[in-house]
Amino acid sequence: MNQKRYMGRLSVLTAVLLLISYLANTKFPEIVPWDFTLITISMFFFMSTAVFYLGVNAAMSKDSNAFTRVIMLFTFGKLFLSALLVVGWLKLKAPESMLFVVPFFAVYIIYTIFETNTLTHLSKINAR
């Protein structure tokens, strides 16, 4: 998968998620807080971009374990940053309802599926 195609697909995914989130926010603002949603989608957009470039470099590496290391470190980092974001939001905003985590995890799962699909394609790149 080339960079232009990947960024195009990622941009479309992000635009669709932003549109759905905006519409959900207009109907259910207490469940889908717009500022938290923007932070969440932005974080996952940049993380997905990073994993693509790291994955390409690791897939083309002569080190056969580089790709596995990138996936494991990225997964840990993503989980850590996600937990940090949710806990930080709880501490800073003290929302009345915990329902804001439902759209957060929906976005998390959607980006994770997208990244998994991308990494599966990248894993087929032969080392040069």
Digit-by-digit pLDDT tens for the chain (128 residues) are: 689 999 999 999 999 999 999 999 999 988 889 999 999 999 999 999 999 999 999 988 888 899 999 999 999 999 999 999 999 999 999 888 899 899 999 999 999 999 999 998 888 875 44
Chain segment 115-126, per-residue pLDDT in tens = 999 998 888 875
pTM above 0.85, yes or no: yes
Chain segment 12-34, per-residue pLDDT in tens = 999 999 999 999 999 998 888 99
Q: How far is the C-alpha of 10 from the C-alpha of 8, rounded, in Å?
A: 5
Tokens representing 125 are: 């790149």
